[in-house]
Amino acid sequence: MKAVGVVAEYNPFHNGHHYHINRAKEISRADIVVAVMSGNFTQRGEPTILDKWHRAQEALANGVDLVVELPLAFSVQPAHLFASGAITMMTELGIQSMVFGAEHAEWDFDKLVRAESKFKSNQFDRYNATYATVFNEQLQEATGVQLTEPNDILAFGYFKARYEQAAPLDLIPIRRLGTHYHDLQINEQRQIASASAIRESVKDRRNNYQTVVPQRTINDLAELNGVADWNELYPYLRYQLIQAPIKTLGTIYQMAEGLEFRMKAVAETAENFDEFIHEVKTKRYTYSRLIRVCLYVLLQITDAEMKAHFESPYIRILGFNRHGQTYLHEIKKQATVPIVARMNRELKNGLANLDYRAGKMYEQLNRTELQDMRRQPIIQD
């Protein structure tokens, strides 16, 4: 069977995602669609509006044949590591092509990857600018373009990861359809809106999102009591930052250049998360980077743990239909990493420990059902 892959957060699943799935299958002429989906926290380190099981069910109800979870070690990361994990999983799953949205699908991303190989590494040591700023300065000089849009940045990451892994995967960028990625307004005369706009609509109880999401998503969102965010998580984060010794905080993944001192000091006085993150922010770090570090602190993820999980990827099956099940039987024989259908004690304490911890935090935050133990893959009729 020929498979096409898509990478997504589905936060939540909307009509633009449905279009993407249909377009991917049409372009690739594939028999099935495999979605590599983030778990309960997004790339920016924020909790998803619906848990991974509801979002997997929405995907299966709208054209996806197999949904697998992108482990937290890759899903809550900057674009190049997020993309690297996604490409690794696509390769292990025997997927022949991958279709993804980009703001500038016409760009030669391979050319941009080659240009990056000639960048001056000493320029990245500047303390008055973020990595992204210095990167784009050099890219502009070499190619005349800059990577400033989220999907373009991810597209670059996919091409770079394919090159580094020598992955036999056909990468097909398509122009992103509809509104801007960060657009917070829903035009009820159109059938596509950004996931950000839909979340804001749910959060503000405007409920004007029904025209831009499939029925399954409407049903799931209608059951929500509210939208959890970092304001709810902040008391747990603040407690850890205040109580943990500086030496312990210094072992947290991505806690660099004395950031632990700054975060600990701000936590002493900041009463809410918005105040905290604003005070911690400097020109050196983006908000996305800082929010991810906050999640690493909350889950007590150390450098050593993250390194171990990078070196031991696994594939967690969240759901499938009969076509996806047939495909799974085909590729299981060739996969070189574990393919997991059900969490057990060994996985909880080993390969899947970071995802298990994230799931427990999500359960506490949203008062939702168990996310990992005793959960079996969804089987879509």
Q: Is 19 annotated as a binding residue?
A: yes
Q: Is 261 annotated as a binding residue?
A: no
Contact (CB, 8 A) for 186 and 193? yes
Show the tokens assigned to 191.
């059938």
Comparing CA positions, the residue from 169, 174, 161, 171 lying closest to residue 102 is: 174
H/E stretch holding 369 reads: none
Q: Is 309 annotated as a binding residue?
A: no
Q: Is 151 annotated as a binding residue?
A: yes
Q: Is 8 annotated as a binding residue?
A: yes
Burial code of 73-105, b = ≥16 C-beta within 10 A, e = fewer? bbbbbbbebbbbbbbbbbbbbbbebbbbbbbeb
The CA-atom distances, in angstroms, between 91 and each of 23, 145, 314, 331 are 21, 29, 12, 11
Q: Is 212 annotated as a binding residue?
A: no
Q: Is 187 annotated as a binding residue?
A: no
Q: Is 11 annotated as a binding residue?
A: yes
Q: Is 18 annotated as a binding residue?
A: yes
Q: Is 12 annotated as a binding residue?
A: yes
Show the tokens assigned to 220.
């799931």
Comparing CA positions, the residue from 319, 304, 24, 288 lying closest to residue 173 is: 24
Q: Is 359 annotated as a binding residue?
A: no
Distance (Å, whole) CA 58 – CA 217: 6
Contacts of 351 by beta carbon, 8 Å cutoff, 6+ apart: 309, 312, 314, 338, 340
CA–chain centroid gap for 10, Å, is: 9
Q: Is 16 annotated as a binding residue?
A: yes
Q: Render 136-184 in DSSP notation, one character per residue.
A: HHHHHHHHS----SHHHHHHHHHHHHHHHHT---EEEEEEPPSS-TT--
Q: Is 14 annotated as a binding residue?
A: yes
Distance (Å, whole) CA 356 – CA 338: 16
Binding residues: 7-20, 101, 151, 176
Binding residues for ATP: 7-20, 101, 151, 176
